[in-house]
Amino acid sequence: MKKVAVGISGGVDSAVAALLLKEQGYDVVAVHLYCWPPKSEIEKDGLTREEWIKKNGCRADEDRTFALKTALELEIPFTVLDFSEEYNQKVITYFYDEYEAGRTPNPDVMCNSEIKFGLFLNWALENGFDYIATGHYAKNVCNESCKLMIPTDKHKDQTYFLWKLTQKELAHTLFPLGEYSKNEVREMAEKANLSVAKRKDSQGICFVGNVEAREFLARRLKENPGKVLDIHGEEIGKHDGVWFYTIGQRGGWEILPSAQRKFAGKGVTPVFYVVSKDAKKNILTVALENEAGGDQFQVGEINRISKTKWNLDHLIVRIRHGGELIGARGMETEEGLPVILDKSIRGIASGQSAVFYSEEGECLGGGVID
Residue range 201-222, pLDDT digits in tens:
876 676 676 677 888 888 889 9
Choose the weakest-confidence range: 59-68, 255-264, 319-328, 351-360.
255-264
Average pLDDT over residues 137-164: 97
Instruction: Consult the annotation and say whether 9 binds a ligand.
Output: yes
- For residue 79, list its beta bridge partners: 31
Q: How far is residue 325's CA from residue 342's CA, in Å, rounded to a whole number? A: 11
CA distance 94 to 31: 25
From the candidates 58, 111, 146, 363, give the one annotated as an active-site residue: 111
pLDDT reading at 267 higher than 70:
no
Task: Give CA angle at 64 (320, 170), nearest 5°.
Answer: 45
C-alpha triplet 50, 56, 62: angle, nearest 5°: 60
Banded pLDDT at 11 (limits 50, 70, 90): very high
Average pLDDT of the residues of the chain: 93
Q: For 40-45, what is the mean pLDDT?
A: 87
Q: Is 35 a catalytic residue?
A: no
- Taking the C-alpha atoms of residue 207 and residue 51, their distance in angstroms, rounded to an integer, is 19
For residue 357, give every residue at least 6 positions away whose Cβ sits within 8 Å of its Cβ, in sequence order, or none.
Answer: 150, 159, 316, 317, 318, 325, 363, 364
Residue 370 in marked binding region: no
Higher pLDDT, 222 or 262: 222
User: Is residue 206 flagged as an active site residue?
Assistant: yes
| Lowest mean per-residue pLDDT among 39-48, 266-275, 294-303 | 266-275
Sheet bearing 235-239, strands edge to edge: 254-255, 235-239, 226-230, 283-288, 272-278
CB neighbour class for 325 (10 Å; exposed up to 12, middle 13-18, buried from 19): middle
Q: Is 294 annotated as a binding residue?
A: no
Look up the CATH number of domain 226-291. 2.30.30.280
Domain locations along the chain: 3-135+176-217, 226-291
Topology (CATH level 3) of domain 3-135+176-217:
Rossmann fold (3.40.50)
Catalytic annotation, pick one of 35, 58, 146, 206: 206
The answer to whether 118 is annotated as binding is no
Secondary structure of the chain as H, E, C letters: CCEEEEECCCCHHHHHHHHHHHHCCCEEEEEEEECCCCHHHHHHHCCCHHHHHHHHCCCHHHHHHHHHHHHHHHCCCEEEEECHHHHHHHHHHHHHHHHHCCCCCCHHHHHHHHHHHHHHHHHHHHCCCCEEECCCCCEEEECCCEEEECCCCHHHCCHHHHCCCCHHHHCCEECCCCCCCHHHHHHHHHHCCCCCCCCCCCCCECCCECCCHHHHHCCCCCCCCEEEEECCCCEEEEECCHHHCCCCCECCCEECHHHHHHHHHCCCCCCEEEEEEECCCCEEEEEEHHHCCEEEEEECCCEECCCCCCCCCCEEEECCCCCCCEEEEECCECCEEEEEEEEEECCCCCCCEEEEECCCCEEEEEEEEC
Contact 223, 208 (CB under 8 A): no
Report residue 264's pLDDT band, with 50, 70 and 90 as the boundaries. Answer: confident
Radius of gyration of the chain (CA): 22
**Stated length of the chain:** 370
Give the pLDDT mean for 87-112.
94
Check the annotation: does 33 bind a ligand: yes
Tens-digit pLDDT profile for residues 308-351: 999 999 999 999 999 999 999 999 898 899 999 999 999 999 99
Position 266 scores a pLDDT of 66
Mean pLDDT of 84-106: 94
CA dihedral 345, 347, 350, 353 (to 10 degrees): -80
Percent of the chain with pLDDT over 70: 97
Q: Do 3-135+176-217 and 226-291 show the same overall fold? A: no
Confirm whether residue 10 is marked as ligand binding: yes
Q: Check the annotation: does 265 bind a ligand.
A: no
Q: What is the pLDDT of residue 58?
A: 79
Whether the pLDDT of residue 144 is over 70: the answer is yes
For residues 249-278, average pLDDT: 85
